[in-house]
Every structure is written in structure tokens, then in C-alpha cells.
Amino acid sequence: MRIAQDGTKTPRIVAEGPSADTLEVSIPAKDFLFSQASIVASVMLENNSHLIHSDFSKYVNNNGDTWSNDSLKANYKSWTGAYNFVNHQARDDFAVGVVLDAAMRRNFVNASENLWNYYTDILIATHRDFKDLVGQITNGGVEYLSMGCDAMKIQCSKCGAQHDGEPHQDCGHQSSKGKYFVDRAGTRRISADILGTSEAGTVEFTEASWLTIPPAFHGAVHRNILPIDRKASVRIMFPKKAVERKASSMFLGFK
Ligand SMILES: [Zn+2]
């Protein structure tokens, strides 16, 4: 991402990107508030196992959903072109913006034992038409974000049962999601639904919501408004595939 003074008046395609599947686009700051946030984090699984390493329990969402390192790596790019909503009111006519970009960063939980996970940071464009909301984000009245996604593959971290999406055949552990259990070896672990696999397309991130209530994942509070001059624009490489998504066409309108 870079900030340009290129006279962009409405979102536009500047050029073909460096690879055949991307476009360089320019999005004007006069129309959008740009925020960056760490929206999801993954967990490390035990080797050759569905069990979540106990040092990663705190990275599981409060509702008991999580992603393995492999799953988040394979699927994080589906953030681009996702909706921006408020409080998960997931209807086109309630959309307030679009997710422009996503990046992964590795976070060492215990470097000496080589324990690490990924954080996904996203760039959100909230349209300035939503004046009250943009005002609240700017003055810190709204600071939390939460995610929405569709999972085509789900694995129970307690027993390893695999399910094809939701609603899934219950292995008996749905009600223990987010709760702790003691495994056969005596280790206390969290029970969760591991969303997706190492295969791309097993999770689609569909929306990032501004929350007026506390979030499912407490890591998703670190958001940062980009101080960009209203006359400037943000230039990013945008996947061609993401141009087709509904939120992109609603807010960016690339032709
Ligand atoms: Zn289970």
C-alpha cells in the first residue's frame, strides 16, 4: 500500500498489477476512512494432531471458532473484497464499506520452543457517507472489530472429527466449544472448531464488523486509523478475483 497525490476522484484502476491476477487501484481518501486492524489470529496444533497446543488457548475466539496456522495461511487472502458491516448486520443495504487488503504476520509466542502463530491484518475502507459511524471510529467511540466467515471444512479440536461446513454433523462436542477439557495425557486444552484446512477455499472471510459491543476475539481491538490527507488516495494491488465480489462492486465500482 502507498499513499499518492494522484488526483483520484473516484475509485479507479490505475494499471495492470505486477502479476496477471492483480490490478493496481487508487481509492480516494475524500470518500473513505482507512483503518488497519488485526482481525484474526491462528493457533498452533500439536504435531500430527487436531489438539490445540495449550499455549495458544487464548487465541481461540470466545465463541470457540479458530484457525490452524495452515488454514489461516491458505485462506487469509479471501479477506480482500469482504464487506464492512456494523454489529454483523449482514445485509447489502447495511454495508458501510469494503476490505481492501490483507496481510499475514508471524507472531512468536515462545521463540525458544519455536511456538508461533499468524495474525491477519486488514485494511478497511469505511465510506464517509456514514458520517456518525466515521465520527465514532475517529473519536474512539467505536474501536472493536469482529469477523464473519464461511467455513467449508471444519474439524473438532477435541476429537478430530471432520465436518463439511455448517450446520455440521455433531460429534457431541458442539456444546463444549470454547471450554476446556483434559486430554488422555493429562494436559488441559481448549475445545474449538478448527475452520478450514491447508487447502485454499476452505474458508471464505465474508465481513469485518465494527462493534458497539465487546469482540469475540480480544486481539481484534488494535485498530489504527490511517492519517491520510483528504486530497490523497491509497494505492494498492487488488486481486482481480476480488473485483467481482459484491462489496467491491458496491463501494469501489470498478468497471
Ligand atoms: Zn468432537
Inside any domain, residue 124: yes
Inside any domain, residue 23: no
Strands 83-86 and 203-211: parallel
Distance (angstroms) between ligand 1 centre and the Cα of 252 equals: 42
Distance (angstroms) between ligand 1 centre and the Cα of 157 equals: 7
User: Which amino acid is present at 228?
Assistant: I
Distance (angstroms) between ligand 1 centre and the Cα of 44 equals: 18
Our count of domains for the chain comes to 1
Query: First CA to last CA across the chain, in angstroms?
Result: 21
Inside any domain, residue 55: yes
Distance (angstroms) between ligand 1 centre and the Cα of 154 equals: 10
pLDDT tens figures, 176-186: 999 999 999 99
Banded model confidence at residue 252, pLDDT cuts 50, 70, 90: very high
Inside any domain, residue 63: yes
pLDDT tens figures, 70-122: 999 999 999 999 999 999 999 999 999 999 999 999 999 999 999 999 999 99
pLDDT tens figures, 118-168: 999 999 999 999 999 999 999 988 888 889 999 999 999 999 999 887 666
Distance (angstroms) between ligand 1 centre and the Cα of 193 equals: 9
Give pTM, 2 decimals. Answer: 0.93
Inside any domain, residue 198: yes
Distance (angstroms) between ligand 1 centre and the Cα of 70 equals: 20
How many angstroms from the chain centroid is the CA of residue 182?
Answer: 30
Range of the domain at 175: 28-251
Distance (angstroms) between ligand 1 centre and the Cα of 56 equals: 19
Inside any domain, residue 8: no
Inside any domain, residue 4: no
Inside any domain, residue 235: yes
